[in-house]
Amino acid sequence: MSRKPIIAGNWKMYKTVKESVDFVKQLEGKLKDVTDREILVCPTALAAASVVDALRFTNIQVGLQDAHWENEGAYTGNISPIMLKDAGVHYIILGHSERRQYDNDTDHRINAKLKNVLRSGLKAIVCVGETLSEREKGQTEKVVETQVNGCFEGIGLGDLAGIVIAYEPVWAIGTGKTATPEQANEVHSFIRKLIGKKYNAEASEKIRIQYGGSVKPENIKQLMAQLDIDGALVGGASLKVDSFTAIVRF
Ligand code: PGA
């Protein structure tokens, strides 16, 4: 079964509204002809509506970096998926390690957010991954399994079509240290088997699993050559038009 590659740029807390719009206008010109993979940029919430406008009728979709577990309410400083859907956003990244570290995203909370994202008719990228000390203690599989089980609690087979998993070893994010393609694929294949156990063989074949952590134009080809790697979630290298273009075109 062939899975359509998905390359996403996570801009984190970078780029003003104007910088975001200028960026996607350039990007769009460079990637017009690409139809065999999904392309996604994830700006700040502030820039989302302007980026959606700039990318209307193009092959580039827009994601956000988080969304709330409720659709409205007294939650100062938050944005709900239904509002983002209304603004034209397609995907929400959930459980990024930086949010787990600095913004209290636990598996339980990510699970509640995931349910609300899917209910709102949006798609989700659910991030999992171990820290360096967990890897060194040989706990990678256990950690990733706990995260997948927690984030997918109560998620039905029919919901999986709206979910992409991103395996992002925390020690490889923003550090320049990429997991080797083989190291990454080992965990991807473990996650795929896990989805097979939790759901069924077809679901495990179908689900797309992105790799994230210091993805660059220089290493994307080898990563994408691995059997169980279906795309990339790119931080630093997604902030420049040329490097993100090269990664999308791997
Ligand atoms: P990086 O970030 O590419 O800068 O390592 C990846 C991510 O945080 O998704």
pLDDT digits (tens, 9 = 90+) for 161-178: 999 999 999 999 988 888
CA–centroid distance, 232 to ligand 1, in Å, is 9
pLDDT value, residue 2: 87
- The answer as to whether 170 is a domain residue is yes
**This prediction's pTM:** 0.97
CA–centroid distance, 169 to ligand 1, in Å, is 10
pLDDT value, residue 1: 61
- The answer as to whether 160 is a domain residue is yes
The ligand 1 atom nearest the CA atom of 234: 3
Structural domain total, the chain: 1
Instruction: Tell the residue nearest (CA) to atom 1 of ligand 1.
Output: 235
- The answer as to whether 1 is a domain residue is no
Question: 58: exposed, middle or buried (C-beta count within 10 Å: 0-12, 13-18, 19+)?
Answer: middle
pLDDT value, residue 176: 82
The CATH number of the domain holding residue 103 is 3.20.20.70
pLDDT value, residue 218: 97
- The answer as to whether 63 is a domain residue is yes
pLDDT value, residue 135: 94
Please say whether the dihedral angle defined by the alpha carbons of residues 198, 200, 66 and 245, taken in this order, is positive or negative: positive
Residue ranges, the chain, pLDDT below 50? none
For the annotated catalytic residues, the residue numbers are: 96, 168
- The answer as to whether 228 is a domain residue is yes
CA–centroid distance, 201 to ligand 1, in Å, is 30
Choose the residue to mutate in 168, 175, 216, 244 for probing ligand 1, maximizing ligand atoms within 8 Å of C-beta.
168
The ligand 1 atom nearest the CA atom of 93: 9
As for ligand 1, residues whose beta carbon falls within 6 Å of it are 10, 168, 173-174, 212-215, 233-237
Choose the residue to mutate in 165, 215, 223, 243 for probing ligand 1, maximizing ligand atoms within 8 Å of C-beta.
215
- The answer as to whether 14 is a domain residue is yes
The ligand 1 atom nearest the CA atom of 215: 3
- The answer as to whether 45 is a domain residue is yes
Tokens 């409205």 belong to residue: 72
pLDDT value, residue 178: 82
pLDDT value, residue 177: 82
Domain that holds residue 44: 6-249
The ligand 1 atom nearest the CA atom of 98: 8
Sequence-distant (6+) residues with CB within 8 A of 95 are 105, 107, 110, 113, 126, 127, 128, 147, 151
pLDDT value, residue 183: 94
Sequence-distant (6+) residues with CB within 8 A of 23 are 15, 41, 241
- The answer as to whether 157 is a domain residue is yes
